[in-house]
A and B are shown apart, each in its own frame.
Chain A
Amino acid sequence: MVLSIIRPFYMAFAHLFKTTFTVKYPYEVLRPSERYRGRPMLNLERCVGCGVCVWICPNKALNMVKVGDLKLPQLDAGRCMFCGLCADFCPRIAMVMTQHYELAEYNRKSLIYSPERFSQPPKQFDGKLMSVKKIRKHFGVTHG
Chain B
Amino acid sequence: MKVRWGPQHPVSGQWSFFLDVDADVVVGMEPDVGYTHRGIEKVAENRTYIQDVPIVERACIFDAGNFVFGYVEAVEELMGIEVPERAKFIRVIVGEMSRIASHLYWLCLMSIAVGLETMLMWPVNDRELFLDLLEMLTGIRLTYSYFIPGGVRYDLPAGFREETERRMDYFERRLKDYYKMLYLNRTFQMRTKDVGVLKQADAIRMSVVGPNLRGSGVKIDVRKDEPYAAYDQIDFTVPTESEGDTYARSLVRFHEMEQSIFIIREALKKIPSGQIRVNVSPSVPKGEVYSRVESARGELGYYIVSDGGNKPYRLKMSAPSFRSLLSLPQIMRGVPMADVPTLYMSLDLIPLDVDR
Chain A residues within 8 Å of B, Cβ to Cβ = 1, 4-5, 7-8, 11-12, 21, 32-37, 56-58, 81-85, 88, 97, 139-144
Contacts and interface: CB of A to CB of B under 8 A. Distances in A.
A83 B54 contact: yes
B118 interface: yes
Going nearest first, the 10 A-B pairs with the smallest beta carbon separation are A35-B139, A58-B51, A83-B54, A4-B186, A21-B125, A37-B139, A83-B145, A33-B136, A33-B135, A141-B166
A38 B118 CA distance: 33
Nearest to A30: B132
A132 to B, nearest CB: 11
Given A4-B184, A11-B177, A11-B181, A85 B51 contact: yes
A143 B163 CA distance: 9
A140 B166 contact: yes
Nearest to A99: B139
Contacts, number: 73
Nearest to A10: B180
Contacts of A140: 166, 170
A144 B135 CA distance: 8
A33 B136 CA distance: 6
A114 to B, nearest CB: 25
B140 A7 contact: no
B140 to A, nearest CB: 5
Contacts of B135: 32-33, 35-36, 144
Contacts of B53: 83
Contacts of A58: 47, 51-52, 54-55
14 contacts: A4-B186, A5-B186, A8-B180, A21-B128, A36-B135, A36-B140, A56-B50, A56-B51, A58-B54, A58-B55, A83-B53, A85-B50, A139-B129, A140-B170
A7 B180 contact: yes
Contacts of A4: 184-186, 189
Given A7-B184, A142-B163, A35 B170 contact: no
B153 interface: yes
A140 B173 CA distance: 13
Interface string B179-212: 0110011100100000000000000000000000
B236 interface: no
A88 B153 contact: yes
A143 B51 contact: no
Contact of B140 (A11, A12, A37, A57): A37
Contact of A141 (B47, B55, B170, B185): B170
Contacts of B51: 56-58, 85
A81 B180 CA distance: 40
A143 B132 contact: yes
Interface string B114-144: 0000100000010011001001111110010
Nearest to B183: A4
Contacts of A141: 129, 163, 166-167, 170
B35 interface: no
Contacts of B140: 36-37, 82
A8 B167 contact: no
Of B135, B140, B186, the most chain A CB neighbours within 10 A belong to B140
Contact of B186 (A1, A34, A37, A81): A1
A144 B132 contact: yes
Given A4-B184, A21-B128, A81 B54 contact: yes
A139 B125 CA distance: 12
Given A58-B54, A83-B145, A143-B132, 14 more contacts: A4-B185, A4-B189, A8-B180, A11-B180, A12-B118, A34-B157, A35-B135, A35-B137, A35-B138, A36-B139, A58-B52, A85-B54, A141-B163, A141-B170
B250 to A, nearest CB: 16
